[in-house]
Amino acid sequence: MQPTPIQAAAQRLAQAQKVAVLTGAGISAESGVPTFRGADGLWEQYRPEDLATPQAFARDPELVWRWYQWRRELISRCAPNPAHRALKDLEYRAEAFTLITQNVDGLHRLAGSRNLLEVHGNLWMVRCTACGALYEERSLELSPRPACRECGGLLRPHVVWFGESLDGRILDAAWRAAAGCQVMLVVGTSAVVQPAAGLASVAKQAGAFVIEVNLEPTPNSREVDLSLMGKAGEILPQLLA
């Protein structure tokens, strides 16, 4: 009998020694974290240029911090879902496994994933705009203009805004994982934000079998080998069965 698409994907993953995964906001949607695009997405309510650019922060750091504090509070009440947990299990099964995430919510690490590349940073880390100090700050009661514990300078969230470069070492590692894997799983990303979106093509062009999991088609869908439409929290656990 012909395997179902989910069975075919599960087989590919079971046979692969080197696996790379790229995740986006959709994987955390079932945990209650809002996505960016789509009907309930953050960008329906807020303009990215008002909140997620260095210019916006320079203009009005308090506004930007209020938005991040609101998201930090919301995410502090969210827990990893079955999709995050399935990727943790997959990591312990594959010989070489890299999880590349665009998410800043920290839920992959909370689920137990270890070889993790957070290409857009992390909401729970702060960085000083004056001295560059970088540290974890989990307080939900930051002042409207949080100050660096080292030098008193203005802190910013350690995330990558539009127009900013991704950390070169992290991006290189993501590129190498994509170019060197046999199977790449692309989960819950609209695949419009570069350069992360291009990682699926990097894998494909290097000969990997690329599997996409999403509620709807994306710009990657035409190029991938298998497109599994549905909720990540329902599909991913089945890929390990």
CB of 1 to ligand BJW, least distance (A): 27
Nearer to ligand BJW, 214 or 227 (CB): 214
235: closest CA among 83, 103, 34, 100? 83
Which residue's Cβ has the minimum distance to ligand BJW? 26
Site of interaction with ligand BJW (CB under 6 A) = 24-26, 29-30, 35-38, 41, 52, 102, 104, 120, 159-165, 188-190, 192-195, 213-216, 218, 231-232
Annotated ligand binding at 209? The verdict is: no
Residue 121 CA: distances (Å) to CA of 55, 72, 126? 18, 14, 10
* C-alpha to C-alpha distance for 210 and 36, rounded to whole angstroms: 24
Of 84, 108, 120, 158, catalytic = 120
CB of 168 to ligand BJW, least distance (A): 11
Q: Is 80 exposed, middle or buried (0-12, 13-18, 19+ CB in 10 A)?
A: buried
CB of 161 to ligand BJW, least distance (A): 6
For strand 155-159 and strand 96-101, is the pairing parallel, antiparallel, or unpaired? unpaired
Nearer to ligand BJW, 52 or 100 (CB): 52
- Catalytic, 120? Answer yes
E strand or H helix that includes residue 239: helix 232-239
For 59, what's the count of Cα atoms within 13 Å in the CB-facing half-sphere? Answer: 10
Annotated ligand binding at 78? The verdict is: no
Annotated ligand binding at 232? The verdict is: yes
Angle between helices 82-93 and 232-239 (to 10 degrees): 20
Residue 147 is classified by DSSP as B
CB of 187 to ligand BJW, least distance (A): 6
Nearer to ligand BJW, 12 or 156 (CB): 156
Binding site residue list for Zn(2+) = 128, 131, 148, 151
Binding site residue list for substrate = 68, 71
Active site residues: 120
